[in-house]
Amino acid sequence: MAVSARQVGSKSLSPTREYEPYLEAVWGLKNHWYPAAFSHELPDRQVKGVMIAGHEIALRRAKGKVYALADRCAHRGVRMSKKSMCFTDEHLTCWYHGFTYGLDDGVLKTILASPDDAQIGKIKIRTYPTFEKNGMIWVFVGDEDYKPAPIEADLPMRITSERDPNPIAYLLDDHTFVRGIHQTGNSNWRLAVENAFDPGHILIHYDNPLIVATDRKLALGWQPTAPEAIEVIDVPDGPKGIMNRYDTGLYNYIMENQVTGMKVYGKQDHYLRTSMWVPGVILVEHWPITHFAQYEWFVPVDDTHHEYWEVIVGRCNTEEEYREAEFKYINFFEPLGLRDFNGNDLFAREAMQDFYAEMDGWNREELCKLDSVVVGWRKLATRYNRGIQEPPTGARRA
Amino acid sequence: MAVSARQVGSKSLSPTREYEPYLEAVWGLKNHWYPAAFSHELPDRQVKGVMIAGHEIALRRAKGKVYALADRCAHRGVRMSKKSMCFTDEHLTCWYHGFTYGLDDGVLKTILASPDDAQIGKIKIRTYPTFEKNGMIWVFVGDEDYKPAPIEADLPMRITSERDPNPIAYLLDDHTFVRGIHQTGNSNWRLAVENAFDPGHILIHYDNPLIVATDRKLALGWQPTAPEAIEVIDVPDGPKGIMNRYDTGLYNYIMENQVTGMKVYGKQDHYLRTSMWVPGVILVEHWPITHFAQYEWFVPVDDTHHEYWEVIVGRCNTEEEYREAEFKYINFFEPLGLRDFNGNDLFAREAMQDFYAEMDGWNREELCKLDSVVVGWRKLATRYNRGIQEPPTGARRA
Amino acid sequence: MAVSARQVGSKSLSPTREYEPYLEAVWGLKNHWYPAAFSHELPDRQVKGVMIAGHEIALRRAKGKVYALADRCAHRGVRMSKKSMCFTDEHLTCWYHGFTYGLDDGVLKTILASPDDAQIGKIKIRTYPTFEKNGMIWVFVGDEDYKPAPIEADLPMRITSERDPNPIAYLLDDHTFVRGIHQTGNSNWRLAVENAFDPGHILIHYDNPLIVATDRKLALGWQPTAPEAIEVIDVPDGPKGIMNRYDTGLYNYIMENQVTGMKVYGKQDHYLRTSMWVPGVILVEHWPITHFAQYEWFVPVDDTHHEYWEVIVGRCNTEEEYREAEFKYINFFEPLGLRDFNGNDLFAREAMQDFYAEMDGWNREELCKLDSVVVGWRKLATRYNRGIQEPPTGARRA
């Protein structure tokens, strides 16, 4: 046999030079908006701690507004979110020694048992911009002095009728059904993004109950046939994304493989379209059913974990439509879709983790024709990110 | 806002230069007495393994006397305490190949299946001095050739009527009720000591059932107002300690904070006094109730764990007094005090651990006026320790 | 006391210079046959993943034959054994993107959804030689271009009547009862081998139910009295082993120790003989009962784990003999022998692990007269191995 293992793969398909900064983005892209919590997870007078891209953040709601502060007391470094201590609507008090910070500015306003202390007014912890709409809370994570971008620039673009005859709802609009789940995945955020957007990964779903029960004709994979199959979208001052143009004839929907005899059993055609947006949020139009959409975020937590957000979005102009969406969400979308179907994706991402993290996978991978889509995303993230997140001091993990 | 995060704190309150050796005492102070077990934990003919300051120690009782030897067989390095093998009252035999050491001197006396071996009499494992009284066993841990100090020098001083009109009992006296628990805490021993002695930490107890049920007027914190509030006690050839002089008027008992509106609900005054003694044992006089005292040790195990000892001490001249103390211990002191109330302290210490161990907390902490007490302890430990424990070979952990 | 701890041991008994390569064999010996699975563990059309000496291997049975391939898809590095995907009898398909390799040669034959891909025919994953007989599957693990040795060379020699008047059965013969278990041990493979072959380790079994119930006169240890007690066996082009010649008078069977008063209670003599063979397989003749034999392998998994194989072998010429052997296996050999009795050995090996792995045990051990047998094995492994296994890329662990 003349060929030797792995060394022979065509490296021209793996042009790591073109997205070198992406390879360094172990802790995520910085200066972007990331979802931090669902609104129902943050009741009044409770402190919730999250970690995003290595930033430890304490969320606190007061008088309806959401505040985000660094989640380490300046005094002796405990996470303030470990025990909620909320006396007023203006302050966050650390449960340990009563260091009390202004919610607005993070400045030390008093120490419970040392009210005349010289440190008061001199110490400050950093704050983060927040945004809340339709049941979701976002935080702008990155450099303290970076002016936040509009949140719309970090979400998938609004789909208009020019792009789809039956455009799906926009996440931030009123009269929009928005509901979902999030959970921690044991892989780097980039492996999660790449799994989701990859038109070859759908093989892992070929035997899924959602597909089999609805008799959907899901391909073994979608093979791009021309560079134009993958469109880079750059909205001025707005979203930057990359779309698989499944609405064109530029993809081969592979339904059978001659060598192995494997073929698709489902009979029902189902149209969907996927696009991935900086800093890592996918829009799946017409999924899990036509007219609805699924948003997914792969929020960097630390170098080896991401928070996997799955949100169903639909237009509901009436109370009756909302009740129907809720009925379908509870009894179909969440159990069969978000949990079971997408559970396979979590499995696949985690299966890549040791190869990429410990076995030099970024240089050893052998990409194929399907991966031009993944490479497209890597280039997009390299071109449009607002900075590569540095590891935190001490590189602590979630 | 002119102030920036953390950089602005008054570093004059954090004079790490003054206690540099303390910062290196990750594995503890050496050449001191530490509690190793309660007497009831060491029945005859049983081997019990403990780790203190990185020293692996096998305890063995024979004819009533407690012996302590290095807990690694010289032959192939197994811990002899993993399986008790006790044939005589003079020897400790390793369960693996029968290497048999003298309890007194640690010298290899025989090998069960190689009784004529050239190694016999030539190999020796080290021994440690022990002390037992009132149901507790101590071991003197440190350099092999260090002459043990009297145990009294490593315990809190005896409180006489000159120091308290109603002095609490002394641990080593006859007719003393001594009972307690120990458990492993997931933090370095220094964070445990500092939490216990810190007059600002009591905020973590403000909502504790013991406090609320007894309606005690526990302050938000005790603020020292003059250097004399903190007394360094140097008994010649005896204990070295530092005392919070709550018996003077030199502390502000803060009962209310104007900025946050927080205040204390309890109505019943309760007097107590705390003092911390090298190598890290606190005496809380008149706690959990008047006339009783609580001793606590924070014994270094390895660099990230301490053994937390909590012992209640009281004077019991009659059998009736002993029965009453026991009744209160079982139904009040242990469940509400040692476990529930002090459980908050374990929580607080462990919350500091990653900041100090991984995030350069010793240099990043921002101390306040309350912390002059903590700094006082650090200086005491620096001045009066008998050596800084080196990490063990291979820096193995418990 | 003039002697000091550990430094005084006679280092002439620990001549590490003579087996230096053995000390480097942390990940095992390479270019040898190792058991990988029992036949019943590998049904048709199922992929089973194992790790041997750091090699991740996917086993697959097709049309009865066993194939072994590298268990990382060349594409994005997932282990193919994580989800079985078997469409044909000629291919192994990766569950993620459908990369499909020839079972015979490891060459990429198709990609399910990219059947015209340029990578097809160019990528190859490595394959491993396999062997199956009497319910066991072996894989030849090591360098890809190393010509496999005959499997007989990596098994204990056949015992003929010249060596034993009642020779036990040979593992690979027809009409042989072969049955056993395997489990993962938390120690390096070398500590496992040394524990098994060591004539001093039997002390750990002195109180075992199997010994006590059968009233066997098991010595405290077997002390070699002359170099000839330990025979090195070098079969040309065949097995290389070292045998404890318990069939001679060259061992002292120590039944009592004067210093401790310890003695053996059992009354029934029982003859057995042990020999250890490269790359680490012990033969215990006449164990657990006369005429039967126990084979044990200590297969390197990674640097801190071994797979412990225990297999009972006996001659069964008739169906009736087979049924009796099975009855004894199920109700005696496996529960009392393989699990309970040898469970003590697992315990002992794991007790050595931290000393050797983290505390420089290879240089600190203090060997005694009994250990000439262990040293003999070390020299044998040094002399006859076919290579020292290098750590895998990224030194990943099982």
- How would CATH label the architecture of C152-395? Alpha-Beta Complex (3.90)
Question: Is residue B91 over pLDDT 90?
Answer: yes
When the pLDDT of each residue in chain C is averaged and rounded to a whole number, the result is: 94
**B155-164 long-range contacts, Cβ below 8 Å, gap at least 24?**
B155/B33, B155/B239, B155/B277, B155/B281, B156/B239, B156/B241, B156/B275, B156/B277, B156/B281, B156/B282, B156/B283, B156/B295, B157/B233, B157/B235, B157/B238, B157/B239, B157/B241, B157/B277, B159/B283, B159/B285, B164/B247, B164/B273, B164/B285
* Cβ-contact B383, B233 below 8 angstroms: no
Which subunits sit against C, judged by 3+ Cβ pairs under 8 A? A, B
Q: In this structure, what token pair is assigned to residue C123?
A: 């990528």
B141 to A37, B57, B156, C277: CA distances (angstroms): 50, 9, 18, 46
Q: In this structure, what token pair is assigned to residue A145?
A: 């002095």
- Say whether pTM exceeds 0.95: no
Which residues in chain A are contacts of C91 at CB distance < 8 A? 259-260
Q: What percent of chain C has pLDDT over 70?
A: 95
Sequence-distant (≥ 6) Cβ neighbours of residue A290 within 8 angstroms:
A166, A270, A271
Is the CB of A9 inside 8 Å of chain C's CB atoms? Answer: yes
Residue A279: cis peptide before it, omega within 30 degrees of 0: yes
Selection from A209, A214, A177 nearest residue A335 by Cα:
A209
CA B88 from chain centre, in angstroms, equals 33
Which residues in chain B are contacts of C262 at CB distance < 8 A? 87, 93, 98, 112
Which residues in chain C are contacts of A370 at CB distance < 8 A? 97, 111, 113-114, 117
pLDDT at B45: 87
Which residues in chain B are contacts of C352 at CB distance < 8 A? 76-78
Interchain proximity B259–A100, CB inside 8 Å: yes
pLDDT at A13: 45
* Cβ-contact B206, B221 below 8 angstroms: no
Q: Which CATH superfamily is domain B32-128 in?
A: Rieske [2Fe-2S] iron-sulphur domain (2.102.10.10)
Residue A288: cis peptide before it, omega within 30 degrees of 0: yes
pLDDT at B10: 40
Selection from A274, A250, A267 nearest residue A202 by Cα:
A274
Closest-CA residue of chain B to C220 = B113
For the beta carbon of residue B271, count every other beta carbon within 10 angstroms: 12
pLDDT at C31: 98
pLDDT at B342: 98
Q: In this structure, what token pair is assigned to residue A57?
A: 């953040």
* Cβ-contact B191, B303 below 8 angstroms: no
Question: Is residue B76 over pLDDT 70?
Answer: yes
Question: Is residue C9 over pLDDT 50?
Answer: no
| Among candidates C219, C351, C366 on the partner chain, residue whose Cβ is nearest the Cβ of B78 | C351
Backbone angles phi, psi at C223, to 5 degrees: -100, 120
**Which residues are registered as beta bridge partners of C224?**
C251
Pick among B114, B117, B120, B145 to test the C interface (most C CBs inside 10 A): B114
Q: In this structure, what token pair is assigned to residue B325?
A: 């103390």
pLDDT at B398: 53
Complete DSSP assignment for B73-96: -TTT---GGGS----SSSEEE-TT
Q: What percent of chain A has pLDDT over 90?
A: 93
**Residues B221-260: b if buried by 16+ CB within 10 A, e if exposed:** bbbbeeeebbeebeeeebbbbbbbbbeeebbbbbbebebb
Would you place residue B7 in the very low, low, confident or very high pLDDT band (cuts 50, 70, 90)? very low
Which residues in chain C are contacts of A4 at CB distance < 8 A? 124
Taken as a whole, chain A contains a residue count of 398
Is the CB of A102 inside 8 Å of chain B's CB atoms? Answer: no
What's the CA gap between C238 and C248, in Å, rounded?
24
B298 to B238, B391, C122, C295: CA distances (angstroms): 20, 18, 63, 50
Selection from B35, B32, B68, B29 nearest residue B308 by Cα:
B35
Question: Is residue A132 over pLDDT 60?
Answer: yes
For C76-132, how does the pLDDT look when each residue is reduced to its tens digit (9 = 90+)? 999 999 999 999 999 999 999 999 999 999 999 999 999 999 999 999 999 999 999
* Cβ-contact B217, B49 below 8 angstroms: no
B 16-75 → C contacts, CB under 8 A: 70, 72, 74-75
Virtual torsion, Cα B168, B172, B174, B175, nearest 10 deg? 40
What's the CA gap between B32 and C269, in Å, rounded?
53
For A291-324, how does the pLDDT look when each residue is reduced to its tens digit (9 = 90+)? 999 999 999 999 999 999 999 999 999 999 999 9
Virtual torsion, Cα A129, A132, A138, A140, nearest 10 deg? -20
Angle at CA C45, nearest 5°, toward C44 and C47? 105
Would you place residue C396 in the very low, low, confident or very high pLDDT band (cuts 50, 70, 90)? low
Would you place residue B126 in the very low, low, confident or very high pLDDT band (cuts 50, 70, 90)? very high
* Distance in Å, alpha carbon of C216 to nearest chain A alpha carbon: 50
Give burial (CB, 10 Å; 0-12/13-18/19+) of A64.
exposed
Q: In this structure, what token pair is assigned to residue C76?
A: 């994005």
Closest-CA residue of chain C to B69 = C5
Selection from C191, C174, C171 nearest residue C33 by Cα:
C171
What's the CA gap between B265 and B255, in Å, rounded?
9
Interchain proximity B203–A124, CB inside 8 Å: no
Question: Is residue B11 over pLDDT 50?
Answer: no
A176 to A159, A170, A292, A321: CA distances (angstroms): 14, 7, 10, 10
SS3 label, residue C268: strand
B252 to A48, A265, B245, B286, B377: CA distances (angstroms): 33, 79, 11, 20, 20
Q: How many CA atoms lie within 13 A of C225 on its CB side?
A: 9
Question: Is residue C5 over pLDDT 50?
Answer: no
Which residues in chain B are contacts of C220 at CB distance < 8 A? 98, 112-113
Selection from C161, C155, C136 nearest residue C33 by Cα:
C155
Which residues in chain B are contacts of A91 at CB distance < 8 A? 259-260
Question: Is residue A389 over pLDDT 50?
Answer: yes
Name the strand (E) or helix (H) holding C49.
strand C47-52
Pick among C262, C265, C350 to test the B interface (most B CBs inside 10 A): C262
The fold of the B149-392 domain, in CATH, is Naphthalene 1,2-dioxygenase Alpha Subunit; Chain A, domain 1 (3.90.380)
What's the CA gap between A329 and A343, in Å, rounded?
16
Are the folds of B32-128 and B149-392 the same? no
For C252-292, how does the pLDDT look when each residue is reduced to its tens digit (9 = 90+)? 999 999 999 999 999 999 999 999 999 999 999 999 999 99
Packing angle, helices B189-197 and B372-384, rounded to 10: 130
Packing angle, helices C342-358 and C189-197, rounded to 10: 130
For chain B, what are the domain ranges? 32-128, 149-392
Mean pLDDT of A75-86: 96
Selection from A262, A276, A258 nearest residue A203 by Cα:
A262
Is the CB of A186 inside 8 Å of chain C's CB atoms? Answer: no
Which residues in chain B are contacts of A78 at CB distance < 8 A? 348, 351-352, 355
For B176-221, how does the pLDDT look when each residue is reduced to its tens digit (9 = 90+)? 999 999 999 999 999 999 999 999 999 999 999 999 999 999 999 9
Selection from C2, C3, C15 nearest residue C367 by Cα:
C15
Would you place residue C18 in the very low, low, confident or very high pLDDT band (cuts 50, 70, 90)? confident
For the beta carbon of residue C20, count every other beta carbon within 10 angstroms: 10
* Cβ-contact A301, A175 below 8 angstroms: no
What's the CA gap between C301 and B215, in Å, rounded?
61
What's the CA gap between A256 and C225, in Å, rounded?
73
Backbone angles phi, psi at A127, to 5 degrees: -115, 160
pLDDT at A135: 98
Mean pLDDT of A88-115: 97
* Distance in Å, alpha carbon of B84 to nearest chain A alpha carbon: 40
For A318-349, how does the pLDDT look when each residue is reduced to its tens digit (9 = 90+)? 999 999 999 999 999 999 999 999 999 999 99
Q: Which amino acid is at B124?
A: K
Selection from C38, C10, C21 nearest residue C297 by Cα:
C38
* Cβ-contact C190, C22 below 8 angstroms: yes
For B129-186, how does the pLDDT look when each residue is reduced to its tens digit (9 = 90+)? 999 999 999 999 999 999 999 999 999 999 999 999 999 999 999 999 999 999 999 9
Backbone angles phi, psi at A216, to 5 degrees: -75, 140
Spatial strand order in the sheet of A108-111? A91-93, A99-102, A108-111
CA B235 from chain centre, in angstroms, equals 20
Q: In this structure, what token pair is assigned to residue C173?
A: 């013969």
| Among candidates A223, A260, A368 on the partner chain, residue whose Cβ is nearest the Cβ of C75 | A368
The fold of the A155-390 domain, in CATH, is Naphthalene 1,2-dioxygenase Alpha Subunit; Chain A, domain 1 (3.90.380)
| Among candidates B3, B220, B259 on the partner chain, residue whose Cβ is nearest the Cβ of A113 | B220
